Structure 1
Amino acid sequence: MKLITFVANGTTHVGALDATGSRAVSYTSASRGDPRMASMLALIQAGGTILDDAQAMLDSHPADAVFDLDDVTLLAPLPDPVRFRDCSLFIAHLQPALRGLARSIAEEAEDPETEYERLVATGNFDTPDVFTREVIYYNGDHTAVSGPGRLIVAPAETRRLDYELELAAVLGRTTTNVSDEDATDVIFGYTILNDWSCRDLQRVCMESMLGPSRGKDFDGANTFGPCIVTADELGAPYNLDMTAKVNGELWSAGSTSTMHHSFEDAVVHFSRNRTVYAGEIVGGGTVLTGSPIEIGRRLKDGDEVELEIEGIGVLRNRVQLPY
């Protein structure tokens, strides 16, 4: 199933796309008050037979539970995740991103090329070995969630907003000490993540060695959507095409086959002597070429960004920039 959260006639619904992909079936309406269908978080946390029951409603539903997609507003499929962590599972992205960051710093110098070479020679813009050995992540703001079609308004102080093309996993079980063999069963489904990043603010904050901080922390900074594809429908997520277009022009292209660590690795790592929760979102990190900082390009005010991942769909947003 492709599960969605949407607004129709002033009411928020949890539901799914029908087989045509052009209509939304509301579980909120079809279930006639079933509390498990009150929200996406409630559905995920219900466990048990919930997906079988949801599939039955999708196959056979009352006429008043169906809406044309053109008549609804899609929200983030899980608007209120209980936690959000973004990982560096695609480590190949890191080196070109760091070098791109060095170039952006060097632009401010009188001799940019000489300054760039000096910065690179420091070794501070090389990928640390720890990213290869471990699942490295930061805790994102699970309240700063946005969805498809949301206007992304960059903070007034930034002069460099980037998109980041990412696959994300949604966890479906609350558990601890997950084994390698059981990790796949903890994953409920997958969605697209645009991890918007203010590179200039991030650059300053990273000097503290405490993470990206304000560089990735503003209203709507974590965009998810357009749906959550359940794990049973998507299957193994490690050979999917990923693209990013800006105003219809292809800027980024990659594949989930290039992940160094897997989502299962992340689940095992996070749950070691700790609890993971149904309703968490785990970002996979940016695919190689998946951000403008890597390819020497910049977003402009009013640009439309479209992230697409095979089997999931297209996540589309326009940006409002202060520069």
Structure 2
Amino acid sequence: MKLVTFEATPGTQQIGILEGEEIAILDGAANPAFASMLALIEAGDEGLDAARAAQSGAKRIALSEVRLRAPLPLPVQMRDCLTFELHLRQARARLMGKEPDEIELPQIWYDQPIYYKGNRFSVSGPEDEIIWPKGETRLDFELELGAIIGKGGCDIPASEGVNHIFGFLIFNDFSARDHQMMESAGGLGPAKGKDFRTANAMGPCLVTRDEIGDGSGLTMIARVNGEEWARGNSSSMHHSFGRIIEHVSRDEVLHPGEFLGSGTVGGGCGLEIGRFLEPGDVVELEIEGIGVLRNRIAPERR
């Protein structure tokens, strides 16, 4: 199923099942599991079974009559990894004036997934305008695959990790590169480089695992103003989502509704190719089996 959170009237959110150009509405008054996307996730397999059973008889509303929001507007937690070797090599090479094959990566990157924790309150959705952070000159996009945890746990083995995933969505990790580079010199971060309002764009829908498997083998494309800037495939992740879940859950409890990002696919950001966004640009990220996440950059710099 392709699940969405939407507003038919401003300020009132509902969830439903995307069916082409229509949404089958899941009635929260009929089943508390349909009250929100988080409620559905927390309801587990029973909630999904109930949604499937309700789909055929559900009321429909045209997609053109609603505003899609981020599928999970307020994740329980956000962690974004860095699992694509080509992205890391190309980004560092661009910053250091070297060739990608000249970049030496730390052994820990190969040994375990590395990640940062993002601002779960800075989530935006499809068609939302992305603010231009104050003083920034190099605003960038990042083409990523995101996973939402459906079943919690601690010390989850990699072989069982995929069974803890509820579904997948597209993630655009908008980044303020000036701020990010300044912060990285201090040995911590990222902070303002990543956490500004609207920075974490997600959508357009949350595709359940039964439709998309473990998230591997998916074509990933980024376009700016209709021009293709990047193309890659999720199969080039060095660490799988199963391995990510194993590492994150070591001595730590994962909860339903947590977000895990794949990191940027190789070539999937402006930093790697020396091109950055401009005010008014339209950024479209497309991932096979999920759809297109579209956002417009604010028309003026702040």
Q: TM-score, normalised by structure 1?
A: 0.89
The answer to whether structure 1 residue 46 and structure 2 residue 43 are counterparts is yes
The answer to whether structure 1 residue 227 and structure 2 residue 205 are counterparts is yes
**Range with bigger deviation, 247-256 or 178-187:** 178-187
1:245 is matched with which residue: 220, 223, 227? 223
Q: Which amino acid aligns with 1:258?
A: S
The structural deviation recorded for 1:300 is: 1.1
Choose 1 or 2 for highest CA Rg: 1
Which whole-Å deviations, capped at 9, do the CAs of 1:247-268 have from their partners, x for residues lacking one? Answer: 1000000001111000110111
Pair 1:101–1:59, CA change in 2 (3 A)? farther
Q: Which amino acid aligns with 2:297?
A: V
CA contact (8 A) 1:98 1:126 kept: no
Q: Which amino acid aligns with 2:14?
A: H
1:171-190 correspondence runs (5 A): 171-190=149-168
1:91 is matched with which residue: 54, 76, 85? 85
CA contact (8 A) 2:169 2:203 kept: yes
Equivalent residue number for residue 60 of structure 1: 57
Q: Which amino acid aligns with 1:133?
A: D
Q: Write the distance in 2 (CA, Å) between the matches of 1:36 and 1:142.
A: 22
**Range with bigger deviation, 279-288 or 265-274:** 265-274
CA contact (8 A) 2:214 2:241 kept: no
Percentage of pairs with the same residue:
45
Count of aligned positions: 298
Q: Secondary structure at the match of 1:182?
A: helix
Equivalent residue number for residue 5 of structure 1: 5
The answer to whether structure 1 residue 145 and structure 2 residue 145 are counterparts is no
The answer to whether structure 1 residue 313 and structure 2 residue 291 are counterparts is yes
CA contact (8 A) 2:162 2:214 kept: no
Q: What's the RMSD between the two structures over aligned residues?
A: 1.6
Q: Secondary structure at the match of 1:278?
A: coil
Q: Which amino acid aligns with 1:93?
A: H
Q: Secondary structure at the match of 2:158?
A: coil
Q: Which amino acid aligns with 1:15?
A: G
2:95 is matched with which residue: 98, 101, 110? 101
CA contact (8 A) 1:170 1:187 kept: yes
Equivalent residue number for residue 267 of structure 2: 289
Q: Secondary structure at the match of 2:192?
A: helix
Equivalent residue number for residue 111 of structure 2: 133
Q: Secondary structure at the match of 2:54?
A: helix
Contiguous gaps of at least 5 residues in structure 1:
103-115
Q: Which amino acid aligns with 2:24?
A: V
Equivalent residue number for residue 322 of structure 1: 301
Contiguous gaps of at least 5 residues in structure 2:
none
Which whole-Å deviations, capped at 9, do the CAs of 1:18-71 have from their partners, x for residues lacking one? Answer: 2xx11011113xx5342111100111011141111101112222xxx3110011
2:196 is matched with which residue: 218, 236, 243? 218
CA contact (8 A) 1:154 1:319 kept: yes
The structural deviation recorded for 1:126 is: 4.5
Q: Which runs of 4+ in 1 moved over 3 A?
A: none
Q: Secondary structure at the match of 1:13?
A: strand
The structural deviation recorded for 1:127 is: 3.0
Q: Which amino acid aligns with 2:235?
A: S
Equivalent residue number for residue 17 of structure 1: 18
Q: Secondary structure at the match of 2:74?
A: coil
Q: Write the distance in 1 (CA, Å) between the matches of 2:45 and 2:129.
A: 37
2:72 is matched with which residue: 69, 78, 81? 78
Bigger helix share: 1
